[in-house]
Amino acid sequence: MDMQGSRPLAVTQQQAWEALNDPEMLKACIPGCEKFELTEPNTYAVTTAIKIGPVAARFNGRVTLTDIVPPSAYKIGFDAQGGVAGFGKGEAAVQLAPAATGCELSYTVHSTVGGKIAQLGQRLIDGAAKSLAEDFFRRFDEALQARYPSAAPASAGTALQPMPKAGGGLPSWAWAAIAVVVAAVIYLVTKG
């Protein structure tokens, strides 16, 4: 599945880059994330417990960062296993660009899932993915506001804006969240 979209952030490009480089911040923002640890340069071990409809499982995965261009872009390769619940793997390209009210985070995701997760109905997956993505972005916006208080008033208007969808499928960030910890995001870590 291929998806793309963007998200306004009410912080500077450098501030967003720093937040996306903070494994503890991401761990706190990814729904169900239990572990987000550096295991070797530009490689992280991730464990997340999620439930989508009748399927609940703990997913263990690996996130690898490549093509890192601080503070504007990188690629994320991800692979997650959830036993009989399924697996997720793929790649995401993330870009940050300055914008009038902060910066714009753009992303393109290509991912594949298999197992019980893939057998669930598309509507159920879409709903769960949207919920996970909105939860991630709400938490991420709150964490950015706490870290950078001067950005708080501007971000209030962007915290829960609808996420773009690609081709009627899952919202991109939600898919990354499910695929990486089928699986979580989130997405969005770099070591630059």
pLDDT tens digits, one per residue of 101-159:
899 988 887 877 777 766 776 667 667 766 777 788 788 888 998 999 876 444 333 33
Residues contacting residue 14 through CB under 8 Å, at least 6 positions apart: 71
CA geometry: angle 60, 16, 190, nearest 5 deg: 40
pLDDT at residue 78 is higher than 50: yes
Within a domain: 189: no
Within a domain: 185: no
Which amino acid is present at 160?
Answer: L
pLDDT at residue 98 is higher than 60: yes
What is the reported pLDDT for 129? Answer: 66
Give this prediction's pTM. Answer: 0.72
Please, what is the average pLDDT of the chain?
A: 74
Give me the number of domains the chain comprises. Answer: 1
pLDDT tens digits, one per residue of 11-23:
999 999 999 888 8
Cβ pair 128, 38 in contact under 8 A:
no
Within a domain: 187: no
Within a domain: 192: no
Higher pLDDT, 67 or 53: 67
